[in-house]
A and B are shown apart, each in its own frame.
Chain A
């Protein structure tokens, strides 16, 4: 029915793109509510036991993953299947590395500021929600990777990759706000 879409002057990719932006816009209000809750309940206080080096490392890991995601997308745009696969795999790997880092921080956090304390409540909720979004981002990247085994991405047919990578950037940007809110303000 692509022909029918064409006769109606519909640009499906433009519609998908708008839909994704609207969805990410909506999701950003979720994070806004969580960030608001952190300041409303805890002000700017934070415990000294936060693992600052680890927080910095996982932030860098996540930022780097956006770079490889972008490279993967560019490869898909130019039809370089091998480069696309390699870069997306690296992105997924970095995503998992980030999740492992959050896991380590969690196991330390359970000891120093358990979820039943004031800071623990906001810390575990914020990082938990974000980690869940990272997981969905990994799943989205994995989905376009699996689809890429059957379908050749190339000029004019790379929307799937673009969408997944855009969502990955969104998850990344969310962390750019969460990291200072939890680790840096005081």
Chain B
């Protein structure tokens, strides 16, 4: 019981609920004192969250170190922290490995909930006609599926970067460990807000939340906006942290062009996060201000313009796609050389291509608005910039293919997922071309073609790579191997389920199936294909179930993992599994490329293992070639 009460999460939830109640009560008192009716959902809940979230953070303990600092106490440098048992995962712990696991676990929970929402919604669309959902409920489920999945992807990206980057560059921790804990803990109320959004009436705008619909949608809209804002701030602060870590915390000898590709992609991701997240944050705050205080951003009668939202929204949300997929592409670049036993092909170009994608992705947002009435003369420039994204993305695809060419490929679970990811991402990229070309986009905009396209990019760029990453790094994180049989079953079910779910959607879209609708005309003859899609979606869900069983069972009873089961050469594998609390007791000396597989005499780094001279404890002291 005392352990339970010491959990930061529990204290935070209690403080947060109390704070929310106080904030709501106070607003209602003020409102009735001013002669308004006490209950006004938007204002009262906004005030509640404005008080509740800081109260919650204080309860979790996210402020305590900073408060002590103001009062004149010293602040612990990273690495000065004393650790304890499982309870640390439920409080504000500054260790980057703990935070990485917290992010990843939260991400998987949100993915599960958001997946269930869409499984329900998919049942409704498997036949024409309205079966059991009202159109409003359908829209809420579909919208929440979208926004929660994107939130989960952001959390998963942060999780991977947090856990891996400090290890890969030979640092003890992130540059700002407490800020890191803070960034994680503000996402937890966001998850709660999203869970409350459905009981609070949901919202029917789709994940994009376009005004004017979003300025009139039920209370669920507002909870979604607040959640989005919190996750956005987590993303910005995380980006600051990642950039500072990569720029300043690298081990001696770790020049920029000796960094693993995953670190390069994290660098590009962090750049996108700190630059563009502000735009979507302000766009949604404008919606909030219009809802709560009656400002006129998107009301033409008050001098507003709804296109302002779309510009600001897509100025983030297109680059955001690259925030979602770049780390995933980095994971593929890590895994392919290891399982092909060959150096990564074209290392320098692949490293720079991440920045190419990031910069290119920043100037294409208008292609989301071809049908929205943007200025005619903007269409062609946006079409051209969109097409150019293919160049840096193509660099990556060809690098993976050339790396595998004549390699000694072993089809272990991580490699299988990476291969599916490459195939899926390729289809996602190619089917994006008709979306980016004005005349074809006018025809397929807002159809299932678009849905199929972006699910390809997100599955290929995040979901499959994230699964590959989990199978690849799980032994490092837990010290146990994931079950290989269950892993391959998961891969087979998910790959088949994915292709059968999403390839028919292209056909559906071309034949007139519009997105975001609960019902469609039976005369279109789209019923049978929709049934196929729904069944296959449940196969994906089944594969995820296998995955969750595998995670729990293997973490509990799995085979003990050696330090370096995949014979990789990056730094994290030269430590014990799981790695020591502060990673490297003395900084590793980096001498060469991380991908010199099969090159005689090639050395990535010299690592002094934990415990001084104990060669057996920390695994390989010197990485040999091969």
Q: Of A51-59, A81-89, A115-123, which stretch is located at the interface?
A: A115-123
Count of residues in A whose CB is under 8 Å from the partner chain: 42
CB-CB under 8 A for A8 and B296, given A29-B275, A29-B276:
no
Q: With an 8 A cutoff between CB atoms, is A22 at the interface?
A: yes
CB-CB under 8 A for A118 and B304, given A14-B248, A26-B275:
yes
Name the residue of chain B whose CB is nearest to the CB of A118: B303
CA of A33 to CA of B304, assembled, Å: 15
> Would you give the shortest CB distance from A166 to chain B, in whole angstroms?
15
Most buried by B among A26, A34, A120, A124: A26
Q: Of A68-76, A101-109, A145-153, A171-179, which stretch is located at the interface?
A: A145-153
Q: Using Cβ atoms and an 8 Å threshold, which residues of chain B touch A29?
A: 275-276, 278-279
Q: Of residues 115 to 138 in A, which have CB atoms within 8 Å of B's CB atoms?
A: 115-121, 124-125
Contact between A26 and B274 (Cβ–Cβ < 8 Å)? yes
CA of A117 to CA of B614, assembled, Å: 72
Contact between A4 and B172 (Cβ–Cβ < 8 Å)? yes
Name the residue of chain A whose CB is nearest to the CB of B271: A22
Q: With an 8 A cutoff between CB atoms, is B282 at the interface?
A: yes
Contact between A1 and B79 (Cβ–Cβ < 8 Å)? yes
Contact between B305 and A15 (Cβ–Cβ < 8 Å)? no
Q: Using Cβ atoms and an 8 Å threshold, which residues of chain A touch B302?
A: 116-118, 121
Q: Of residues 232 to 248 in B, which have CB atoms within 8 Å of A's CB atoms?
A: 236-237, 239-241, 243-244, 247-248
Q: Using Cβ atoms and an 8 Å threshold, which residues of chain B touch A14?
A: 248
Q: Of B4-12, B70-78, B137-145, which stretch is located at the interface?
A: B70-78
Contact between A125 and B289 (Cβ–Cβ < 8 Å)? yes
Q: With an 8 A cutoff between CB atoms, is A185 at the interface?
A: no
Name the residue of chain B whose CB is nearest to the CB of A9: B252
Contact between B252 and A115 (Cβ–Cβ < 8 Å)? no
Contact between A15 and B72 (Cβ–Cβ < 8 Å)? no
Q: Of residues 14 to 45 in A, which have CB atoms within 8 Å of B's CB atoms?
A: 14-15, 18-19, 22-23, 25-27, 29-30, 33-34, 37, 40-42
Q: Using Cβ atoms and an 8 Å threshold, which residues of chain A touch B587?
A: 7-9
Q: With an 8 A cutoff between CB atoms, is A5 at the interface?
A: yes
Question: Can you list, as one digit per residue, whether each of B301-313 has a CB less than 8 Å from chain A (1) or not (0)?
Answer: 0111100100110
Q: Of residues 279 to 333 in B, which have CB atoms within 8 Å of A's CB atoms?
A: 279, 281-283, 286, 289, 293-297, 302-305, 308, 311-312
CA of A7 to CA of B608, assembled, Å: 15
Contact between A40 and B172 (Cβ–Cβ < 8 Å)? no
Name the residue of chain A whose CB is nearest to the CB of B170: A8
CA of A27 to CA of B252, assembled, Å: 32
> Would you give the shortest CB distance from A73 to chain B, in whole angstroms?
18
Question: Can you list, as one digit per residue, whether each of B247-271 has a CB less than 8 Å from chain A (1) or not (0)?
Answer: 1110010000000000000000000
Contact between A37 and B308 (Cβ–Cβ < 8 Å)? yes
Name the residue of chain B whose CB is nearest to the CB of A139: B70
Q: Of residues 156 to 184 in B, which have CB atoms within 8 Å of A's CB atoms?
A: 172, 175-176, 179
Contact between B279 and A40 (Cβ–Cβ < 8 Å)? no
Q: With an 8 A cutoff between CB atoms, is B80 at the interface?
A: yes
Contact between A124 and B295 (Cβ–Cβ < 8 Å)? yes
Name the residue of chain B whose CB is nearest to the CB of A116: B294
Most buried by A among B77, B80, B179, B244: B244
CA of A120 to CA of B297, assembled, Å: 10
* Chain B: interface size category: 35 or more
Q: With an 8 A cutoff between CB atoms, is A143 at the interface?
A: yes
CA of A121 to CA of B305, assembled, Å: 12
Name the residue of chain B whose CB is nearest to the CB of A19: B244
Q: With an 8 A cutoff between CB atoms, is B69 at the interface?
A: yes
Report which of A1, A19, A117, A149 forms a contact with B296, defined as CB distance below 8 A: A117
Q: Using Cβ atoms and an 8 Å threshold, which residues of chain A touch B274?
A: 22-23, 25-26
CB-CB under 8 A for A115 and B305, given A1-B80, A12-B77, A151-B72:
no
Report which of A8, A124, A149 forms a contact with B172, defined as CB distance below 8 A: A8
Most buried by B among A1, A5, A42, A117: A1
Report which of A116, A119, A124, A147 forms a contact with B69, defined as CB distance below 8 A: A147
Q: Using Cβ atoms and an 8 Å threshold, which residues of chain B touch A42?
A: 303
Q: Using Cβ atoms and an 8 Å threshold, which residues of chain A touch B179?
A: 19
CA of A29 to CA of B279, assembled, Å: 7
CA of A170 to CA of B218, assembled, Å: 38
CA of A18 to CA of B243, assembled, Å: 9
Contact between A147 and B72 (Cβ–Cβ < 8 Å)? yes
CA of A185 to CA of B448, assembled, Å: 46
CB-CB under 8 A for A30 and B79, given A19-B240, A115-B294, A121-B296:
no
Contact between A18 and B275 (Cβ–Cβ < 8 Å)? no
Report which of A1, A27, A34, A117 forms a contact with B303, defined as CB distance below 8 A: A117
Q: Using Cβ atoms and an 8 Å threshold, which residues of chain A touch B304?
A: 41, 118, 121
CA of A33 to CA of B312, assembled, Å: 8
CB-CB under 8 A for A27 and B296, given A1-B79, A10-B249:
no
Q: Using Cβ atoms and an 8 Å threshold, which residues of chain A touch B71?
A: 146-147, 150
Q: Using Cβ atoms and an 8 Å threshold, which residues of chain A touch B239?
A: 22, 26
Name the residue of chain A whose CB is nearest to the CB of B289: A125
Q: Using Cβ atoms and an 8 Å threshold, which residues of chain B touch A4?
A: 77, 79-80, 172
CA of A120 to CA of B296, assembled, Å: 8
Contact between A22 and B278 (Cβ–Cβ < 8 Å)? no
Report which of A30, A115, A118, A120 forms a contact with B278, defined as CB distance below 8 A: A30
Contact between B278 and A33 (Cβ–Cβ < 8 Å)? yes
CB-CB under 8 A for A2 and B77, given A15-B244, A146-B70:
yes
CA of A143 to CA of B69, assembled, Å: 9
Q: Using Cβ atoms and an 8 Å threshold, which residues of chain B touch A41?
A: 297, 303-305, 308
> Would you give the shortest CB distance from B268 to chain A, in whole angstroms?
14
Residues of B participating in the A interface, judged by any CB pair closer than 8 Å: 69-72, 76-80, 172, 175-176, 179, 236-237, 239-241, 243-244, 247-249, 252, 274-279, 281-283, 286, 289, 293-297, 302-305, 308, 311-312, 586-587
16 example contacts (A-B, Cβ-Cβ < 8 A) are as follows: A7-B587, A15-B176, A15-B244, A22-B239, A22-B240, A23-B237, A26-B236, A26-B274, A26-B277, A29-B279, A116-B296, A118-B304, A121-B302, A125-B289, A125-B297, A150-B72
**List of 5 A-B pairs having minimum Cβ-Cβ separation, nearest first:** A118-B303, A150-B72, A1-B80, A1-B77, A26-B274
